[in-house]
Chains A and B, each alone.
Chain A
Amino acid sequence: MDHFPTNWGRPRNDAFDAYGTYPLAQRPYNGPKDTFEAGVQRTQQPIVTGTSVLALKYKDGIMMAADNLASYGSLARFKDIQRLHPVGNNTVIGAGGDMSDFQYIQSLLDSLMIEEFTAQDGHSLGPAELHEYLAQVMYGRRSKINPLWNSLIVGGFKDGKRFLSYVDLLGTTYSASTLATGYGAYIAQPLLRKAVEGYEDVLTEEQAEKIMTECLKVLFYRDARSLNKYQIATITTKGVNLSESRSLDTTWSFAEGIRGYGAQTQ
């Protein structure tokens, strides 16, 4: 029931405000509604989202990192979500963007790998093939104006070669020795480039991991949709290694001294 009397009936002449309701000239429409007034909306918007994924090349292969948060708008909704997904023995896919779309992609890839396995033809899909497949899927969906709302990073190591490439909801692809999606592209990418460009063949796993955690820490401080719980994946000659969830050590004592940041004393 609408308890606002001015909304009950419309004056006979719409141009004349008979009840003198100005400035409340705009009233809600209380008549029947057509759910599909804007047509059938196939295009969605991201709902439950993951933020940055980071990736870099180092001496032994590829290292990727992502936190464990899936947000619902500004709500930190799911705090134990895996955003790094191993596919086969040589590849890891990392995803930012809509998590349900990502889980759909995971199921696509898993059934694809099963299909390839049952062929038993001595071939298996490596990172390059999976990236091409994903690029085609993503481009195909954007061409139907019904995209899978993700930025994906494909990292892998196969036949002695490192592979690191990106694909997003528009089907755009590129590769580089460091990659970052979401806020990471603005905040972590410059740090990664400074630490990695030119040192791809000398960085050890320890050094790479230090760079990664440093970047994740900066992201956690500055990206409001991030979490201090994360996983790191490496893909090397030894195959895929996905770490357990870890925590970042962060300091907040400095906030006390900053006006507008911590508790106010005056």
Chain B
Amino acid sequence: MPDMVSLSRAASGQPSQFKTPYSENGGTILAVAGSRFCVVAGDTRRTDGYSQTRYAPKVFRLTDKAVLAVNGFSADGNMFVNKVRQQLEWYRHGHARDMPLHEIARLMQTMLYARRFFPYYVSNILSGIEEDGSGAVYTFDSVGSYERDTCRVAGAAQSFMQPYLDNQDDWYTRPSVHYKNQRSTHSSSRPTQLPLSSVLSLVMDSFVNASERHVEVGDGLEIYVVLAKGSSLQGLEKLTGAQEVTATSDGERVFTVRRSLRRD
């Protein structure tokens, strides 16, 4: 029948054509800069639709002063981290030192923009210690736009966590304002920059909250802490499960802390 012919052409849309070279693997990452330290965290759940695995790290130590968190399509994320690490290794061979943080940021922009028309489907957050010893966070979109920041969340639970941290965290870019929207009531008694211990508990709380409301966040939390040259441990030594992963003796020190999150 004529109409059956046309129907069969339409209905024969092949069962599983390769539609997109991307997928979205959920999870959330976050970084907070302090005056002499920074904290980078990410959950370890990796999702594919409603399937999930429990431990797939997305926060990586690049050097002793730089940590990179990647979120989005995990295959692109891993590939991008590999490529950045390769560049950093070549830099170290050529210059006999680690690449400074702001240079890594610019390098990442170049690398991301190089793929402008077939992008890495990844939100990047680069964090670490600048040459002046200050903690810094750089956030990128998938094609390389970037800015320096103090506190940034990316990924599935971004909209849950970012406004909460805006509220609880120091507003670095305008040092006169502390604790967003709490100016008139509390401003005089608040510190200019939050201490490491408060940042750590804030980060843990944020992830617990996010895992409560978002199915793609959970299983485990992996936190990296980078301390500037010569700064004290600031209570890290008392934190259960804190592990030092510093590679060189250049001065900056890197630590990891792991916590479990809800697995359902």
Contact = CB atoms under 8 A, between A and B. Distances in A.
Direct contact of A and B (CB under 8 A): yes
Interface of A: 4, 6-7, 23-24, 26-28, 43-46, 139, 142-143, 145, 147, 149, 169-176, 185-186, 189
A142 B21 contact: yes
Contact of A6 (B2, B18, B55, B56): B2
Nearest to A145: B21
Contacts of B56: 174
B259 interface: no
A230 B56 CA distance: 30
Nearest to A143: B21
Interface of B: 1-3, 5-6, 14-18, 21-23, 25, 46, 48, 51, 53-56, 73-75, 78-79, 118
Contacts of A171: 75, 79
A145 B18 CA distance: 8
Given A6-B2, A143-B118, 4 more contacts: A45-B14, A46-B16, A174-B56, A186-B51
Contacts of A46: 16
**Chain A interface helix/strand/loop/mixed:** loop
Contacts of B3: 23-24, 26
Contacts of B14: 45
Given A6-B2, A26-B3, A145-B18, A176 B55 contact: yes
B193 to A, nearest CB: 37
B97 to A, nearest CB: 29
A170 B17 contact: no
Nearest to A147: B18
B203 to A, nearest CB: 24
Contacts, number: 63
A173 B75 contact: yes
Contacts of B74: 172-174
B53 A174 contact: yes
Contacts of B23: 170, 172
Contacts of B53: 174, 176
Given A45-B15, A45-B18, A173 B78 contact: yes
A186 B50 CA distance: 9
A153 B154 CA distance: 30
Contacts of B51: 185-186, 189
B54 A176 contact: yes
Nearest to A26: B6
A156 B51 CA distance: 24
Given A45-B16, A176-B54, A176-B55, A170 B21 contact: yes
A172 B75 contact: yes
B242 to A, nearest CB: 24
A174 B2 contact: no
B55 A28 contact: no
20 contacts: A4-B1, A23-B3, A24-B3, A26-B2, A27-B6, A28-B5, A45-B14, A45-B18, A143-B21, A145-B18, A147-B18, A149-B18, A170-B23, A170-B73, A172-B23, A172-B25, A172-B74, A173-B75, A185-B51, A186-B51
A189 B21 CA distance: 25
B46 A174 contact: yes
Nearest to A186: B51
Given A170-B75, A172-B74, A186-B51, A28 B6 contact: yes
A189 to B, nearest CB: 8
A189 B56 CA distance: 17
A89 B263 CA distance: 36
Nearest to A179: B53
B48 to A, nearest CB: 7
Contacts of A142: 21, 75
Contacts of A45: 14-18
A170 B22 contact: yes
Contacts of A4: 1-2
